[in-house]
Amino acid sequence: MKKDFLKIFDVSPNEFTGLVKRAIELKSGKDASKCPLIGKSIGLFFEKPSTRTRVSFEVGIYQLGGQTIYLNPKEIQLGRGETIADTAKVLSRYLSAIVLRTYTHATVAEFAKHATVPVINGLSDMHHPCQALADLMTILEKRGRLEGVRVAFIGDGNNVANSLIEAAALTGMELALACPEGFEPNAEIIDYARGKYKSNITVVRRPEEAVGMADVVYTDVWVSMGQEDGADKKKEKFRNYQINSNLLKQAKKDVVVLHCLPAYRGSEITDEVMDGPHSAVFDQAENRLHTEKALLEFLIK
């Protein structure tokens, strides 16, 4: 039976930690000559522009011996009215897996419902599970463990925050999210994480409260792609949620700083912090490659 990766909760705690550990092995060069995707073609269906997601998947698939086929919705029949269901059924006859990067999670879910090959969510408005895999790989590299690590997420309770909540639930991390009123993460995801996994997830208003004694401080853009309407008003509400050197003083002295990129320097994070000694931002970006290779190995048989 095919397995999809639409959200972090699609895998078990053991499967998640296994993926992270396998990614670390791949990064070290273990099994460098192993090519499990020889003869396989992977579709990349992207409604949104991309740097890290597209390049990391294309390079990772090539390194595993496969080939990619980039699918712009405007350049296939979906753009002329073919249904998502019909497109998914047809592409499943040609491809071994499909990565989708879409505006709405409903598109990913509908595609996966009708596809007969594994579907990977490369980003939707509700979840960004591939990013969370790379985030926790980076935390494990820098902190040496996941369980009990204190993570502070500062900013918009967006798709990245939702996936981070699910990842924290599977691994026993402690997660505090500081968000302005009206910009909290998905309440159902938080309730599920707390209920099933007894997760230590808290949502607060003041960034200082979340950052206090944190092992990791994480932020993302204040305005996500496709949500630019009303951006100026939103930015005003977030002006006190910047990751800067003063805020980091509240965290542990060896705090690790993360940002999933792209970053709007001077808005959600300062140059001083992003380029400073605490930053693991570019290690985090590199780790997208290794975690996605581990994920492809896991899903494609």
Q: H or E stretch including 192? A: helix 187-197
Stretch 22-38: mean pLDDT, rounded?
93
pLDDT greater than 70 at residue 43: yes
Q: What is the pLDDT of residue 227?
A: 67
Do the domains spanning 8-128+288-299 and 131-285 agree at the CATH topology level?
A: yes
d(CA 258, CA 141): 13
d(CA 194, CA 164): 13
pLDDT greater than 90 at residue 224: no
- Domain ranges in the chain? 8-128+288-299, 131-285
d(CA 156, CA 285): 20
CATH topology of domain 131-285: Rossmann fold (3.40.50)
Q: What is the pLDDT of residue 157?
A: 97
pLDDT greater than 70 at residue 190: yes
pLDDT greater than 70 at residue 215: yes
Q: What is the pLDDT of residue 42?
A: 98
Tally of residues, the chain: 301
Say if residue 4 is exposed, middle or buried (CB neighbours under 10 Å; 0-12, 13-18, 19+): buried
Cut 0.85: pTM above it: yes
Q: H or E stretch including 178? A: strand 174-178
The residues annotated with a catalytic role in the active site are: 101, 128, 131, 220, 260, 288
Q: What is the pLDDT of residue 233?
A: 84
pLDDT greater than 90 at residue 216: yes
CATH superfamily label, 8-128+288-299? Aspartate/ornithine carbamoyltransferase (3.40.50.1370)
